[in-house]
Structure formats: C-alpha cells, structure tokens
Amino acid sequence: RLTMEVLSGAANVSVTSYLDGNVTNEDSNYEEQFWLEKAVKADADDSYLTMETKENPFGTPRFSVTTLMKNYFSVVDKDSKENISLTGEKSQSMKYAGETVQVQVKSGDIFSAEKRVAVINTRNVPEERHVDEARKVLADLEKYIFYG
C-alpha cells in the first residue's frame, strides 16, 4: 500500500500498478529468458498474467504461473472526510498488464493506492483453474483486512 498526503498546494499524482512478465532469472546465462506468455488480461475487475517456463534440453519440468492483481485507488478529502474511490486506466501488452490512475490531490487530502496479488501455479492447480482460484484467494483475503 502506498499512501501520501499533500502538505501544501496541490499535486498531480500518477501511479501505475502492473504485472511484468519480462523476467530474466538471476542464474541465467546471457540474460536468457525462461518464461513464455500464455495469457494476459487487464479488464474492469482485475488483471492477470499467465506465464510458462519454456522447453529446455535439461529435462527440467515445465510449469505455469498465473499472477492476478486487483488495485484499489482512493483519495480521502480533507474537508468532507469522504473516501473517494478512483478508477484507473487499464492497459495490456506482451507480458504486461497494468493500471494507471491520475488525479489532482489538494492540500491535506490523502491519496492511497493498494495492490493485492495472488499467485497460483500448476504445481498445485491446473492452469485452466488458475484465474478462478486466484480470484478466490483475493476474495478470501477480504475477511482478514482491517482498516482502523
């Protein structure tokens, strides 16, 4: 969670929360990438990225990983104390799903961005159930979150 308060004046705030599958493993040679995109989606409810390890000559088992995120953006108005939810602009491209929110925040207002992520892999769940299972994980998380 990222929270910021404007102390004086006003601020144009722009925050991008994203999933990036353009990964190079630390132990790889020549910055080789071992991950192939299987699916990417950024829509109104959430965003996810499913990646699979590529074939290899070493007999290392292949597996898929789905990472699903849900973002919550808001501003608490200093004067009214109202918590105003914001909707970001979704984007997706090869190995990337993101959401950007842009807002002007006035002095004393508090901006908040929260990113919740679930990670599911084929070692535990078949790939065709990844997205549904990740959504269940995030839904279950709701009962443990306390805002005091």
User: Tens-digit pLDDT profile for the chain (148 aa)?
Assistant: 999 999 999 999 999 999 999 987 776 666 778 889 999 999 989 999 999 998 888 888 899 999 999 999 999 999 999 999 999 999 999 999 999 999 999 999 999 999 999 999 999 999 999 999 999 999 999 888 876 5
CB 54 within 8 A of CB 37: no
Cα–Cα distance for residue pair 19/34, rounded to 1 Å: 17
What SS3 string covers 80-111? Answer: CCCEEEECCEEEEECCEEEEEEEEEEECCCEE
Confidence (pTM) = 0.88
